[in-house]
């Protein structure tokens, strides 16, 4: 039996005043509770509870151990609650990289809307047109324009498709001519 489990059993006995009440509270048998407390005492090499057929009394070591166990178990409960609520209510800091145009046009607005719903989430946003080293620079998310991504263990999700349109002013076309292929385009650019 693990340390936290034996602590829980001991605390339940100490708080309820009986092995039977502790067993009911923990949804187990009185024998399991008794064995857990005996195992704990053997591991600690000290008696925590004086037992008679009619009553239980904590020893001095038992009183001190109970106080510590209650604090430890409360900390564990709080840690579990905090971790569990992270699934329900996001909390913490997200470090995001986005390419400039996407970041300015979409990401900043999305962050503002997200913060309205989840005010406990903080953002570190970096806008740059280079592809960062996510691990080295500690980014949680990177939003990029790319045809393909380097092979890695990262999870990639397509958010959308962009299109480019080649435009030229009538004056430019009059001066340089209208290209008839993409190859001739390279010859036209100054």
Per residue in 34-68, pLDDT (tens digit) is 999 999 999 999 999 998 878 899 999 999 999 99
* pLDDT over 80 at 141, yes or no: yes
Percent of the chain with pLDDT over 70: 95
Please report how the helices 19-26 and 30-44 are oriented relative to each other, as an axis angle in degrees rounded to 10.
110
Residue 62 CA: distances (Å) to CA of 6, 9, 26, 81, 112:
13, 13, 20, 28, 53
Q: Residue 91: what are its φ and ψ, rounded to 5°?
A: -140, 145
What's the number of CA atoms in the CB half-sphere (13 Å) around residue 138?
6
| pLDDT given for residue 26 in this prediction | 94
| Confidence band, pLDDT 50/70/90 cuts, at residue 184 | confident
Q: What is the pLDDT of residues 92-140, one digit of tens each?
A: 899 999 998 889 989 999 999 999 999 989 999 999 998 888 888 999 9
Q: Is the pLDDT of residue 23 over 90?
A: yes
Q: What is the mean pLDDT of residues 71-93?
A: 83
pLDDT of residue 85: 67
**Rounded to whole angstroms, how far apart are CA atoms 166 and 187?**
15
Report the distance separating Cα 143 and Cα 103, nearest Å. 8
Domain ranges of the chain: 3-85, 89-163
**pTM for the full predicted model:** 0.49
CB of 44 within 8 A of CB of 65?
yes
Closest by CA position to 75, among listed 4, 180, 165: 4
The residue count for the chain: 190
The span from the CA of 118 to the CA of 141, in Å, is 18
Spatial contact of 181 and 165, defined as CB atoms under 8 Å apart: no
Please tell me the predicted confidence (pLDDT) of residue 154. Answer: 81
Determine the pLDDT at residue 80: 86
Confidence check: pLDDT of 147 > 80: no
Evaluate if residue 143 carries a pLDDT over 80.
yes
Other beta carbons less than 10 A from residue 179's beta carbon? 16
Poorest-pLDDT segment among 29-43, 146-160, 167-181: 146-160
Question: What does the radius of gyration of the chain's CA atoms come to, in whole angstroms?
Answer: 32
Query: What is the architecture of the domain spanning 89-163?
Result: 3-Layer(aba) Sandwich (3.40)
65 near 3, Cβ under 8 Å? no
Same fold, 3-85 and 89-163: no
d(CA 60, CA 118) in angstroms, rounded, equals 48
Q: List the CATH code of the domain at 3-85.
A: 1.10.10.10
pLDDT band at 188 (very low <50, low <70, confident <90, very high): low
Q: Which of 152, 150, 189, 153 is nearest to 172 (CA)?
A: 189
């Amino acid at each position: 039996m693990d340390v936290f489990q034996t602590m829980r059993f001991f605390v339940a006995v100490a708080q309820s005043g009986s092995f039977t009440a502790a067993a009911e509270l923990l949804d187990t048998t009185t024998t399991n509770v008794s064995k857990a407390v005996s195992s704990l005492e053997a591991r600690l090499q000290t008696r925590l509870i004086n037992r008679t057929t009619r009553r239980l009394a904590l020893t001095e070591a038992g009183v001190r151990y109970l106080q510590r166990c209650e604090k430890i178990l409360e900390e564990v409960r709080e840690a579990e609650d905090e971790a569990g609520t992270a699934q329900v209510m996001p909390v913490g800091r997200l470090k995001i990289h986005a390419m400039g145009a996407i970041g300015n046009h979409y990401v900043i607005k999305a962050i503002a809307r997200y913060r309205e719903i989840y005010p406990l989430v903080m953002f570190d946003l970096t806008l740059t047109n280079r592809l960062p080293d996510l691990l080295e620079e500690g980014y949680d998310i990177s939003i990029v324009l790319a045809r393909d991504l380097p092979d890695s263990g990262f999870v990639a999700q397509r958010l959308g498709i962009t299109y480019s349109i080649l435009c030229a002013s009538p004056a430019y076309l009059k001066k340089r001519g209208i290209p008839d292929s993409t190859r001739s385009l390279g010859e036209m650019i100054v």
